[in-house]
Structure 1
Amino acid sequence: MKKQFTGLVILLASVGFAHQPFWNPGSPSLEQAYRILEPTVSKVVTSQVNAGQLGFYVLELAAGFVLDLGLFVGAACPPAFQPRMWLVGPGLEGNERPPFAIPGGMGAKVFAGGWRDYRGHGLVARQGPELRERLRGGTYYVVVEAGNAAGYYMLSLAGAEVPGGTPEGRAALARFNRCG
């Protein structure tokens, strides 16, 4: 048991050094969006949603910034938990209408599907939609749509590897892997 615990601590520590881990306790609306600071720095934000809920994130991006995001869910979460990820901002056009109001002058694009098993960086997960978009700059929102199931998810933001994060973010990694 001690050996397994030591291995888990090492794996979780490696995740903390690979990306800055943060915990989002809930961001159910555009007005209450979780602010992702320093989008040029690699980080993971873990959160939980119930069936039918949304999680909102806001980023301020420079013109020409390439936003590189991935969405993961805990492998222990129900197989039906396959959230969709929306990108909302200026100059975006999509082929679906989002299940939330978008600010004037902005468009929305959905990223869905692609779910596959993932093991790495101390995670036992399923990796889903990914987006890599060069953006014109300004305020952008990322919205995670739970769908018909509940669970833990993680947004992974690519960027420079800089130590940091929060104790709450590191603690959330174990809950993510257990989906509870």
Structure 2
Amino acid sequence: MTTLRAWRGAILAASLLFAGAGAHQPLFNPGSGTLESAFRVPQPTMSKVITVQGRAGGRDWYALSTGAGFRLDVAVFVSSACDAAYRPRLWLVGPGVPARAEQPDFVPDGWGAVSVSGPYSAYSGHGVVGWRGPTLTRTLGAGTHYLVVEHGARGGWSFISLAGAEVPGGTPEGRAALGRFARCGA
């Protein structure tokens, strides 16, 4: 079983490494557990896949600086090696986001938060075998907005996938992290 997972990881990394112009830009988030340490998403209009090793009980923040009319289309993916206990929750947080009746404790005063709910579904495509969370789509105004991935009681490898223009790019660290996505734990 471990050998199969290693092969899946190698296939995923190779697929995204050599996919050319049709691939999301792979990036690695080494951890961004607070608003102040938010991972700054470069060029959010370009498609991205940002891999992170989520910590049990933790969350990761992603900052998106956008122009007016930016169309956000994002989902969280979890490795097929992870059991059903690891299903992170995705939030859009920031000024101008509608406030909920009961705001999560991590949302600053005066900001709103929306999340997507629904089950994760089996996913296989683009070299990825895993579980896909519900998609969060919104048209945003100009400014900085934040995505927050709440990891829940379990940790594991996941990534967010941002839709956008398909332009080659990414980083070596991002491609290496995709290889680790095929496992759930450390």
Query: What TM-score does the superposition give when structure 1 sets the normalisation length?
Result: 0.89
Structure 1 Cα separation of the partners of residues 51 and 24 of structure 2: 12
Separation (CA, whole Å) in 2 of partners of 1:125 and 1:15: 19
Which of 92, 105, 129 is the matching residue for 1:99?
Answer: 105
1:128 to 127, 133, 136: 133
Look up the equivalent residue of 1:83 and give its one-letter code. Answer: P
- Per-residue deviation, 1:96: 4.1
Structure 2 residue 56 is matched with structure 1 residue 54: no
The Cα of 1:50 is off from its aligned counterpart by 1.8
Query: In the TM superposition, what is the alpha-carbon distance from 1:114 to its structure 2 partner?
Result: 2.5
1:146: Cα distance to partner?
Answer: 0.6
Residue pair 2:24, 2:48 contacting (<8 A) in 1 also: yes
**Does 1:83 find its partner at 2:88?**
yes
Q: Cα 1:16–1:169, aligned 2, differ >3 Å: closer, same or farther?
A: farther
- Aligned-partner Cα distance in 2 for 1:23–1:73: 15
What is the aligned partner in structure 1 of residue 49 from structure 2? 44
CA contact (8 A) 1:84 1:129 kept: no
Answering whether residue 145 of structure 2 is matched by residue 169 of structure 1, we say: no
1:35 is aligned to: 40
After the TM superposition, list the runs of 4 or more consecutive aligned residues in structure 1 that deviate by more than 4 angstroms. Answer: 14-17
Return the alpha-carbon distance in structure 2 between the equivalents of residues 149 and 110 of structure 1. Answer: 19
CA distance in 1 between counterparts of 2:174 and 2:103 reads 32
- Deviation of 1:129 (Å): 2.3
Q: Give the equivalent residue in structure 2 for 1:21.
A: 26
Match of 1:159 among 143, 164, 173: 164
* Whole-angstrom CA distance in 2 between matches of 1:10 and 1:146: 27
Distance (whole Å) between structure 1 residues aligned to residue 18 and residue 134 of structure 2: 24
Distance in 2, matches of 1:54 and 1:15, equals 30
Distance in 2 (CA, whole Å) between partners of 1:137 and 1:118 is 33
Question: Percent identity between the aligned chains?
Answer: 51
Deviation at 1:100, TM superposition (A): 0.8
> Alpha-carbon deviation of 1:61?
0.9
Query: Match for 2:168: what amino acid?
Result: P
Determine the structure 2 residue equivalent to 1:148: 153
The equivalent residue for 1:11 is 15
In the other structure, the counterpart of 1:72 is: 77
Q: CA-atom RMSD, angstroms? A: 2.0
- Structure 1 residues 42-96: Cα deviation after superposition (integer angstroms, max 9, x where no partner): 0100001121101001011111111111110111012110110110123222354
Residues 127 and 96 from structure 1, CA distance in 2 versus in 1: closer, same or farther, beyond 3 angstroms? Answer: farther
Structure 1: 5+ residue stretches without partners = none
In the alignment, residue 173 of structure 2 is paired with which amino acid?
Answer: E
